[in-house]
Amino acid sequence: MRGLQTIDSFLQDFSGLLCAHNACPRESEELPVPRLKAGAKDCKDPKGPKQSRKRLHLFLTLIFSFVPYLAHADHPKPWQMYYQDPVTPVMDHLYDFHTLLLCIEGTIVLIVGALLIYVIIRFRASKNAAPSKVAHNTLLEVIWTAIPVLILVFIAFPSFKLLYMMDVTPKADLTIKAIGNQWYWTYEYPDHNIRFDSNIVPEDQLKSGQFRLLEVDNRVIVPTHTNIRIITTSSDVLHSWAVPAFGVKRDSVPGRLNETWFHVKKEGVYYGQCSELCGVKHGFMPIVVEAVTKAQFEQWLVSKKNPAQTPSGG
Amino acid sequence: MSYATTIDHVHNADHPTGWRRWVLSTNHKDIGTMYIIFGAFGALFGSTLSLLIRLQLAHPHGTLLSGGEFQIYNIVITAHGLLMIFFFVMPVLIGGFGNWFVPLMIGAPDMAFPRLNNISFWLLIPSLVLLTLSIVVGSGAGTGWTFYPPLSSIGHPDAAVDFMLVSLHLAGASSILGAINFITTIFNMRAPGMTMHKAPLFVWGILVTAFLLLLAVPVLAGAITMLLTDRGFGTSFFEPAGGGDPLLFQHLFWFFGHPEVYIMILPAFGVISQVISTFARKPVFGYLGMAYAMVSIGVIGFVVWAHHMFTVGMDVNANAYFTAATLIIAVPTGIKIFSWIATMWGGSLTFETPMLYAIGFIILFVIGGVTGVTLANGGVDISLHDTYFVVAHFHYVLSMGALFGIFAGFYYWFPKMTGKMIPEWMGNIHFWITFVGVNLIFFPMHFLGLAGMPRRIPDYPDAYSGWNYIASLGALLTFAGAIYFALIVYYGFKWGKKAPSNPWGPGATTLEWTLPSPPPFHTFETQPHVS
Ligand code: HEM
Ligand SMILES: [Cu+2]
Ligand SMILES: [Cu+2]
């Protein structure tokens, strides 16, 4: 692990992409936190999916071992090949389920590829001058209809579970409204009378360690270990509010209020980008969520109400 | 006047010459040829734009298409998508190969409605002119090929989007007329003895495609018309301020749009079936299963549209339904894949260029198909929708699926259409360049999408630069392959050896191979009998 981290930080220095001070929580810093299950009640689940995810992580890390970035990412890393590091229960499940899909589908591709290679070698004209005339085999046809059906049924169950888990917002402790505008986001905390705009930081104003095209002047500040309801809408055209590490993407549609939720388990800064074409600066309206402890969040709320002592990032 | 002329010269005036032969053409082969030439032009136009996109994205900070605060970039991706779909893949596969080979394969003297056929083709010319105008008029149409309102209404006030929408109206009318023609021809003009269950699978592919067009395009036409009146006449179908709903447009669009993606692939399925059977020297395995797999893909294709809309905030039960329905499509798709392999099994395989493209098609289409299964899951799609993963998915099924189908068909039928052979080694090299090139472009896009890179952005966070660079290298290679292809075709016309009526041997059993290469202007004036 240490070795990986060394390469990791070397490559980041190399590409001029130093982590922001709080942007890269390492796996080892991970806190044991209660996980949220589909029923949306807090419950402790010390091994279960978490362990299996770790194992899959390991599996994938081995496969792509020349890519040292798989283990922990809340912003994209150079040559990244897989998801960013999940930090919400929903993204945990999504990650596991996608990895399951990847294994099933990878196997299918390999089987088809192997069959093709076998057929190409075994039945080339030089090896098999007289073609067979067989053009039916009912049993075979039933089998290659039935097996895919079984595989799909097998996929469908965890798929629905994930879908419904995402949909049901557990009792939310905080509501944030994200309003898409051409081309920035406006955030409202209706319970706290807070409202601010969040604009991209132009390249010439980036501080060292900040990410070009991903950084904003005013981040969304949220407490960790809290169920947060996010309501999206738009003041002009369609936009989409997305944070990959949360497994959240919700279109912001004028005239509609869309709702989704997340529950961040780790403090950190999480980056996303508008994900629905919205005009010329569609690529320039990033989303940054900074997850802090509940105490820090309370402080931030106070400072927001009393702007004299605004700390950075707020 | 021309009516009288026809009567006068009833025996020989049916072979007009000069401009009349083409502009007034009612001959399915000539019209097919015009469609193919037109499609080649669309391909050149569309792939030049794709090269521009990849050059823009080769490095972060790209400035090539940065004009108008990157409006140029948005125009280019919009035009690229529309050109490739409506002015390359559809004209070549349906208008080109369909016109040429459906009548020949079913033993018909021509299409059922030859003049309708003429207007179907010629409608495309003004359509392409209007699309080109939408690029240059005002600030251009930068809406994406899906042109969702309000970006395509209040977001684009000048006339560019109107030009684009009218262009699609014309292309749609062309498609509907063509579809009527194919359906009528296939149902009514088969030679005696050729029952539907004996018709070659390419004919089945075109038949199902024609039904999809007939049922899906009018819905697009409705959506376009509503959008046009929203833009110009103060209606508010999609305008929330007036009680309308932007999501209504998306439902209408994808009710057309999902069948549309199958419209692009079903004829290619047909081509691949003919090619594999020919070069395996065996009849297609599980013919009926293959035909009805296409029919069921067509039917199910109409009830899965909202899998493009998992993030819009639909009811969760609707999302669950669309997940299930979409997963089901993988079953008939799997049947086709396995049947192709089974056709090769026990065969006596040779690997001429069409066969290389067909085999490449199978493996790459499987990759595109399984990523489709990933995206079908409404939950997972939340993480991948509108990222490069989707771009990778649909280019695997289109840039490798439909495109490989087109190349397979082109190399397969070139001797028939022109009477000339293209040297095998030239085609083989073209296959390998294309195969490596498109995989270099599109495989890394899976990684970009998983890592979170949104699609349709003109510049990206620096971390994404590595894979983007690889993709752009692949685009250069693919483009070089395309130029090389043009040279091959030129060579074939100019120096190609004369093609016999059947260059492919005993595996080529469909009726077109019983005719000379190229076939005479009129064929099957007396009906062939199929045993
Ligand atoms: C196994 C079969 C397939 C399945 C299950 C499938 C599933 C999907 C899904 C769920 C999406 C939406 C992704 C998103 O936007 O988030 C999608 C997008 C797309 N698919 Fe497929 N697909 C399949 C085959 C095909 C084929 C055969 C084609 C065309 C030849 C195709 C072309 C497309 C295109 C063009 C898009 C993107 C449209 C856009 O947003 O611009 N797909 N597919
Ligand atoms: Cu946007
Ligand atoms: Cu679809």
Token pair in block for residue A281: 């600066």
A149 found inside a domain: no
A92 found inside a domain: no
Note the pLDDT tens digit of each residue in B464-483.
Answer: 999 999 999 999 999 999 99
Split at pLDDT 50, 70, 90, the class of B515 is: very high
Q: Which ligand is nearest to the CA of B375?
A: 1
pLDDT at position B526: 87
pLDDT at position B531: 76
How far apart CA A128 and CA A126 sit, in angstroms, is: 6
A265 found inside a domain: yes
Same domain, A180 and A60: no
Interface of A with B in 126-145 (CB under 8 A): 128-137, 140-141, 144-145
Split at pLDDT 50, 70, 90, the class of B35 is: very high
A309 found inside a domain: no
CATH code, domain with A270? 2.60.40.420
pLDDT at position A50: 45
Active site residues of B: 80, 110, 145, 174-175, 258, 260, 262, 273, 307-308, 333, 336, 455
A293 found inside a domain: yes
A214 touches chain B (CB under 8 A): yes
How many domains, in total, are found in chain A? Answer: 2
How far apart CA A25 and CA A270 sit, in angstroms, is: 11
DSSP B86: I
pLDDT at position A307: 64
Range of the domain at A13: 1-25+51-66
Note the pLDDT tens digit of each residue in B423-442.
Answer: 999 999 999 999 999 999 99
Amino acid letter, residue B130: L
Torsion of CA B493, B494, B495, B497, to 10 degrees: 40
How far apart CA B411 and CA B415 sit, in angstroms, is: 8
pLDDT higher than threshold 50 for residue B289: yes
Q: How many contacts (CB atoms, under 8 Å) link A and B? A: 294
Same domain, A179 and A300: yes
Q: Which residues are A187's β-sheet partners?
A: A178, A196
Note the pLDDT tens digit of each residue in B87-139.
Answer: 999 999 999 999 999 999 999 999 999 999 999 999 999 999 999 999 999 99
CA–centroid distance, residue B328 to ligand 1 (Å): 14
Is A163 in contact with B383 (Cβ distance < 8 A)?
no
- Cβ-based contacts of B285 with chain A (< 8 Å): 134-137
pLDDT at position A24: 36
Query: CA of A292, closest CA in chain B: separation in Å?
Result: 23
pLDDT at position A29: 33
Interface of B with A in 230-249 (CB under 8 A): 240-241, 245-247
Count CB neighbours of B19 within 10 A.
8
How far apart CA B76 and CA A274 sit, in angstroms, is: 20
Q: Which ligand is nearest to the CA of B78?
A: 1
A238 found inside a domain: yes
Smallest Cβ distance to B463: which of A76, A112, A145? A76
- Percentage of chain B exceeding pLDDT 70: 97
Count CB neighbours of A29 within 10 A.
11
pLDDT at position B501: 95
pLDDT at position A57: 53
Using the CB atoms, write b or e for B297-335: b if 16+ within 10 Å.
bbebbbebbbbbbbbbbbeeeebbbbbbbbbbbbbbbbb
Q: Which ligand is nearest to the CA of B393?
A: 1
CA–centroid distance, residue B257 to ligand 1 (Å): 10
Show the ligand 1 pocket: residues with CB < 6 angstroms: B 146, 261, 264-265, 307-308, 326, 329-330, 333, 369, 372-373, 375-376, 381, 384-385, 390, 393-394, 397-398, 401-402
A296 found inside a domain: yes
Smallest Cβ distance to B461: which of A76, A81, A108? A76
pLDDT at position A68: 38
Q: How many residues does chain B have?
A: 531
Is B348 in contact with A15 (Cβ distance < 8 A)?
no
Q: Omega of the bond prior to B149 within 30 degrees of 0, cis? A: no
pLDDT at position A305: 80
Global pTM reads 0.90
Atom index in ligand 1 nearest the CA of residue B308 equals 12
pLDDT higher than threshold 80 for residue B451: yes
CA–CA distance from A83 to each of A70, A99, B495 (Å)?
8, 10, 53
pLDDT at position A54: 52
Here the ipTM equals: 0.93
pLDDT at position B529: 87
Helix (H, G, I), strand (E, B) or coil at B498: strand
pLDDT at position A32: 33
pLDDT digits (tens), chain A, 314 positions: 333 343 333 333 333 332 333 333 333 333 333 333 333 333 333 334 444 555 555 455 444 444 333 333 488 999 999 999 999 999 999 999 999 999 999 999 999 999 999 999 999 999 999 999 888 999 999 999 999 999 999 999 999 999 999 998 899 999 999 999 999 999 999 999 999 999 999 999 999 889 999 999 999 999 999 999 999 999 999 999 999 999 999 999 999 999 999 999 999 999 999 999 999 999 999 999 999 999 999 999 999 887 654 444 44
Residues 6+ apart with CB under 8 A from A259: A169, A229, A230, A231, A232, A250, B313
- Higher pLDDT pick, A126 / B7: A126
For chain A, the three-class secondary structure string (H helix, E strand, C coil) is CHHHHHHHHHHHHHCCCCCCCCCCCCHHHCCCCCEECCCCCEECCCCHHHHHHHHHHHHHHHHCCCCCCCCCCCCCCCCCCCCCCCCCHHHHHHHHHHHHHHHHHHHHHHHHHHHHHHHHHHCECCCCCCCCCCCCCHHHHHHHHHHHHHHHHHHHHHHHHHHHHHHCCCCCCEEEEEEEECCEEEEEEHHHCEEEEECECCHHHCCCCCCCCCCECCCEEEECCCCEEEEEEECCCCEEEEEHHHCEEEEECECCCEEEEECCCCCEEEEEECCCCCCCCHHHCEEEEEEECHHHHHHHHHHHHCHHHCCCCC
CA–centroid distance, residue B501 to ligand 1 (Å): 39
Alpha helices, DSSP H, located in B377-464: 378-384, 388-395, 403-418, 424-451
How far apart CA B27 and CA B14 sit, in angstroms, is: 9
pLDDT at position A209: 85
A34 found inside a domain: no
User: A150 to chain B: nearest residue by CA?
Assistant: B331
